[in-house]
Amino acid sequence: MEFSAPSPDNAIDQLKIVGKPTTRIDGPLKTTGSAPYAYERHDVAADQAYGFIVGAAIAKGTIKAIDLREARAAAGVIGTVSTLDYSPLALGPMNTANLFGGAKVEHYHQAIAVVVAETFEQARAAAALVRVDYARSEGEYSLDRAAHTAVSVPPEEGERRAVGDFPSAFAQAAVTIDREYTTPGHSHAMMEPHATIAAWEKGRLTVWTSNQMIGWGKRDLCKAFGLKPNQVRIDSPYIGGGFGGKLFVRSDVMVAALAARVVGRPVKLALHRPLIINNTTHRAATRQRIRIGAERSGKIVAIAHDSISGNLPNGKPERSVQQTTLFYGSANVAVDLRMAQVDLPEANAMRAPGEAPGLMALEIAMDEMAEKLGLDPVVFRIMNDTQVDPTKPDRHFSERNFVECLRTGAERFGWSDRPAKPASRREGRWLIGMGMAGGFRNNQLQPSAARVRLRRDGKIIVETDMTDIGTGSYTIIAQTAAETMGVKLTDVVVVLGDSDFPVSAGSGGQFGAVNSTSGVYAACIKLQSLILERLGFDSADATFVNGKIQVGSRSVTLKEAVQSGELLAEDGIVYAKGYEERAQQSTFAGHFVEVAVDSFTGETHIRRMLAVCDAGRILNPITARSQVIGAMTMGAGAALMEELVVDTRFGFFVNHDLAGYEVPVHADIPHQEVIFLNKVDPWSTPMKAKGVGELGICGVAAAVANAVYNATGVRIRDYPITLDKYLANLPRPD
Amino acid sequence: MKPFTYERPRTAADAVAAVLRKPGGRFIAGGTNLLDLMKLQVETPGHLVDVQDLGFNKIEPTPDGGLRIGALVTNTVLAADPRIKRDYGVLSRAIVAGASGQLRNKATTAGNLLQRTRCPYFYDTNQPCNKRQPGSGCGAIGGASRGLGLMGVSTSCIATHPSDMAVAMRLLDAKVETIDDVGTVRSIPIADFHQLPGTTPHIETILRPGELITGVELPRPLGGRHVYHKVRDRASYAFALVSVAAVLQRDGSGRVAVGGVAPKPWRVEAAEPLLRRSSESFANSLLSGAAPTEDNHFKLALVERTLAGILHEVRA
Amino acid sequence: MNGSGKWRVSRRGVLAGGSASAAMATMLDAQPSHPRRQADIPVYDVSFTVNGEPRTLSLDPRTTLLDTLREHLQLTGTKKGCDHGQCGACTVLVDGFRINSCLSLAVMHEGDRVTTIEGVGSPDHLHAMQRAFVQHDGFQCGYCTPGQICSAVAVLKEIEAGVPSHVTEDLTATCVPSRAEMRERMSGNICRCGAYANISDAMAEVAGVNV
Ligand SMILES: Cc1cc2nc3c(=O)[nH]c(=O)nc-3n(C[C@H](O)[C@H](O)[C@H](O)COP(=O)(O)OP(=O)(O)OC[C@H]3O[C@@H](n4cnc5c(N)ncnc54)[C@H](O)[C@@H]3O)c2cc1C
Ligand code: SF4
Ligand code: FES
Ligand code: FES
């Protein structure tokens, strides 16, 4: 099904099942521990051996020799694999750091060997016996030191970085700010470690793994091992979180596959937790500069956003400036994205790459600007709303209700009660403050396919390589199929995550829900036509309701329709070339936060959080809410505690476990309220929905930061906002 | 984890003999610290002597009006004991400020006192660390040291002792009771129990090889207001940046011990009279001779402010 | 190997020692490169009950309770998030107390009564807490969930038993299951998906706490 124009009314608009609060269909499995994750697939392959990965002990250099003798002689060991035995495995197009093979060490804890044994305990002990001789080389591990060497990254196709004349407009603006902000590296820190069981059978590789993007994974495995598509299968039905960290096949898949070949048995392994942070990818640290110029009335006339991040050679920058060309109306905009080379582990996508750190800075700057203008920050943002793409004013937003997000949020949160003067509200030892920020994230269109079967028992079976990483894909796909086919939710069976199924959008960039359900919708429409064809019905006025096909006075149950054999339809959604360029599809949020800061110790407690989201039609308010509260939680972490601490001498992330890399715990998170505007966006897809899972994090950290400022009167521009940064300036009770 | 043998004796005498009989013998109680470190091969015992059946799991009154806590009493049981809650509130509060509910259900009184530092370089066997591998250097000095110490540290090691419980025990002047292989029983004032690093940071306590902790004795209750304020980056399940234990009396006198700043709970009795004056003057005295790093300098102000907050509340 | 040249044994590897050629041979004919070794590590017998069923196992003493459940008994409902006591995914109940099964050796549990998520309820017979988690969407990816639920069940009992927490105002008063108490006590179970607010709702429902 090609989508080339805003969607007319369709089966989804019935909203009998789609759009209704629906608890997860996989809920009973997940709450009882019955949903099998990658490392737990005892049933899929007999005789599984255990692998344990050895990570490089240096950040940069060469491996001169690896002595595996002791490891191989250790109890229970059945095989070893050394990076020196292979050339570097070819990488997929979106990765930078070598995953395995060769003598070159590009980053700390790079996988350099694996030991396979009969048991996990044996493999782990033997891995400690691997002796490695390194030649260290000099590296650059400090973004601050490297920043001056950063070079501008050329715009991607269609990316607009400037409009008007920023320098003159800024120079002439009545009110200006020019500020620098820093954000640290972040780790996905998903709860399920990267894990894989790999098995070879007759030259065909199967991996049971934990991966967000099955299609990409299969492509990259084919490339790495020189296999044809029919020689690789990936199965990933349950994924214990990804947040971008499992967009790509990682070293666990590569070395499990190699090890399984070497020992001639299925091999299972997981990245042990202390290895994950340096072995895998992370969100890059940034150094950002924002300049805003406005008229005295508050109208922004000039805005510039520069960002520097670091990565390995040939890596990608953190695109922290991308929202700045679209979020607020300004006739003069200039953004610059620069990258410096640092020899830390690979920087790559993490939940809302670009916008998440970009808005951490931009939305503090907006708060600072509002203050300087003497405007309420909500009012200031409303004044500068735009309904068109500022870099191309004849291009409109498909739907943009940012102002309504802000107004609704302000009203619901009791924003009018915010102390206008910072550090002016006290409750005993606590300083109380409120902050808000805008959220922005684009909606991306990606092709997505599915296969839908009408089984002889009348059940609808949906198969697609789409993944459910906690996003609720199982449930919204079932809702989509049930709605379209006119059956009950319980009459739909959804099977996901298998690369033998049609290729979906996958889970990333908040494009999963909207595109994968659209693909399922397309396949269902095709199935409808096959059913009608078999029944000899005229398709024009047929309806699918209550498990029946109805044409005029004739009515046949779905079950009856397939008495002679089941029907199978495969189709997907694709988007006409240039369609996305016709209108800007984005999602918006208003985030509101109240904090209490201990005036003695500087400890911050978040007391309330509210998000008002404009993200098209909400397919399932329960799972969508969960995506947003989860993202708000991650945003709270980014605001107050999350930071990959770099040892700039030895070149690694020091706090490389879950005790060192602190993420929010229960006690950090208060009641969270989420309001969806639920505005249908026919431009997006037949589902008229948009992404929401990343929108939820965009702006949250800045809202917290602004609340801390409002509480304390101390402005911190360097995340995370930990007490050591403002203690000295924190007003004590008199 | 290196291979080891395991046994579970029934008496203290057997346990002490067992731990010395085989090379690399170690006691294991809850296992929450030792196993963590064994998985990383920071610790590599060859023989584990499980002490859980030795019967040291009672809390009993002592003749002089205090309490004797068995070495195996878990942190949860200790914190929940009605006598502890009533008379030694600071201890109860310190314990529940630490770790998590699950960990406290396993962690024992002895194991908690003997837990090792959380210095990230100590945990990473690729990095230099004088405590883990004497003579290899200190990764933390000149590295990431925000969580590390500034009192009692040396140029060999700036690690902190991470226990919350121990800070309260130091405040209460607890005594650590031990027994060794020849049956010698010692009662060690907690002030003397943990050792400063000097040039030998791998030596952390006064215990001799094979010496078994049998219990901890608390003197008579102090009365007064009991407070434990732990400051950390997240609200729970995190080690202290700084923690302050205090028992304050109506007359303005009191005791204060501080965690998160030193290789042992940090208390300077001589400074305590200054508590009547101000938090600043007390803190200046308590923290005199501090050797902070750029990363952990803030702890000086944080100790003072945390104490100021406590005094403010108690005296309000 | 199909000789595409993209996945080849490097020359350096061949020079580095005999291992590369052994590996090469293995890859070609997919035979195990070593005979299986009999473990020359001591093995210990241990007996305990799991979800009411008596189990006796012979184990390498290094085997944690967690790996015993997941790998030896194939009870994979209990999760491994960190293996170092830092996440709570491995939470099980031992003699009614919740613990991190990753930081406990199986051999230390002789005679113990272990309850895992599989013993709390099953898809067809959900425990009230499991039902409340489904109803309030107290999870997303589901990986921390069994640990959260085991903890949640135990937390309500701990409050009842008068075990204090960091947020208990008055140590000597009766503990009540407030939202703040539950949040604090659940803090040893990390949920990176951030389902905390919904878990709090689920627990409040089971505990009969208003808002
Ligand atoms: C993620 C995490 C967070 C934590 N957070 C905190 C925190 O915030 N605050 C805090 O205070 N603690 C914290 N802890 C540490 C925890 O309190 C300790 O691990 C625990 O107290 C150790 O007790 P155990 O009985 O398990 O000791 P074990 O691990 O069994 O033993 C520790 C040491 O004590 C020795 N030992 C044990 N018993 C005896 C005995 N009777 N005689 C002689 N030697 C003995 C052992 O040989 C070993 O060297 C945390 C731990 C983890 C894993
Ligand atoms: S501070 Fe102590 S524990 Fe940390 S690296 Fe230095 S010597 Fe080791
Ligand atoms: S797996 Fe045990 S606490 Fe993380
Ligand atoms: S549900 Fe994913 S970590 Fe909690």
> What ipTM does the predicted assembly reach?
0.98
A734: pLDDT strictly greater than 90: no
- Say which ligand is closest to the CA of B149: 2
Residue range A614-637: mean pLDDT, rounded: 98
Query: What is the average per-residue pLDDT within A242-252?
Result: 98
In A384-470, which residue ranges form alpha helices assigned H by DSSP?
Answer: 402-413
Q: Which residues of C touch B79 (CB under 8 A)?
A: 163-164
Q: Where in chain C is the domain with CATH 3.10.20.30?
A: 42-120
CATH topology of domain C124-211: DNA polymerase; domain 1 (1.10.150)
Structure tokens at A467: 């993944």
Q: Please name the residue whose Cα sits nearest to atom 17 of ligand 1.
A: B112
Task: Give yes or no for C150 touching B (CB within 8 A).
Answer: no
The residue-averaged pLDDT of A351-375 equals: 98
- Record: contact A600-B305, CB cut-off 8 A: yes
- Record: fold of C42-120: Ubiquitin-like (UB roll) (3.10.20)
User: Is B50 in contact with C108 (Cβ distance < 8 A)?
Assistant: yes
Which regions in chain B score pLDDT beneath 70?
none
pLDDT digits (tens, 9 = 90+) for C131-172: 999 999 999 999 999 999 999 999 999 999 999 999 999 999
What pLDDT score was predicted for residue C40?
A: 61
* Interval A60-80 mean pLDDT: 98
Q: Which atom of ligand 1 is nearest to the CA of B34?
A: 29
Contact between B101 and B238 under an 8 Å Cβ cutoff? The reply is no
Specify the higher pLDDT residue, A376 or A732. A376
Q: DSSP secondary-structure letter at C71?
A: I
- pLDDT-derived band at A157, boundaries 50, 70, 90: confident
Q: pLDDT tens, C97-127? A: 999 999 999 999 999 999 999 999 999 999 9
Best residue in B105, B112, B122 to probe C by mutation, most C CBs within 10 Å?
Answer: B105
Residue nearest to atom 6 of ligand 1 (CA): B99
Residue nearest (by alpha carbon) to ligand 2 atom 8: B129
Residue span(s) of chain C under CATH 1.10.150.120 come to 124-211
| Residue C6: band (very low, low, confident or very high) from pLDDT cuts 50, 70, 90 | very low
Supply the DSSP string of chain B, one letter for each residue: ----EEE--SSHHHHHHHHHHSTTEEEESS-TTHHHHHHTTSS--SEEEE-TTS----EEE-TTS-EEEETT-BHHHHHH-HHHHHH-HHHHHHHHTSS-HHHHHH-BHHHHHHPPP--HHHH-TTS-BTTTSTTS-BSSTTS--TTS--SS--SS-------SHHHHHHHTT-EEEEE-TT--EEEEEHHHHBPP-TT-TT--BSPPTT-EEEEEEE-S---SEEEEEEE-SSSSSS--SEEEEEEE-TTS-EEEEEESSSSS-B--GGGGGGGGT-HHHHHHHHTTT----TTTTHHHHHHHHHHHHHHHHHH-
CB contact under 8 Å between B233 and A274, yes or no, is no
Q: How many CB atoms lie within 10 A of CB A23?
A: 18
C8 falls in which pLDDT band (50, 70, 90)? very low
User: pLDDT by residue (tens digit) across C16-60?
Assistant: 333 333 333 333 333 333 333 345 678 999 999 999 999 999 999
User: Ligand 1: which residue has its CA nearest to atom 53?
Assistant: C85
pLDDT band per the 50, 70, 90 thresholds, residue C211: low
A605: nearest CB among B146, B235, B308: B235
User: Alpha helices of A288-401 — where are they, by DSSP H?
Assistant: 355-373, 377-383
Answer yes or no: is pLDDT of A310 > 50: yes
C80 close to ligand 3 (CB < 6 Angstrom): yes
Q: In chain A, what residues touch C144 (CB-CB under 8 Å)?
A: 191, 240
- In this complex, the residue of A121, A622, A671 whose CB is nearest that of residue C60 is A121
Report the atom number in ligand 3 closest to the C-alpha of B102: 3
User: Which pLDDT score is estimated for B207?
Assistant: 98
Neighbours of chain A (3+ CB pairs under 8 A): B, C
Residue B222 has a pLDDT of 98
Which chain A residues are Cβ-neighbours of C149 within 8 angstroms?
A: 31
User: In the predicted model, what is the mean pLDDT of residues A653-665?
Assistant: 98
Quote the mean pLDDT of chain A. Answer: 97
Triad B247, B250, B256: Cα angle to 5°? 25
Cβ neighbours, 10 Å, residue A609? 27
Interval A172-191 mean pLDDT: 98
Cβ contacts of B38 on chain A, cutoff 8 Å: none
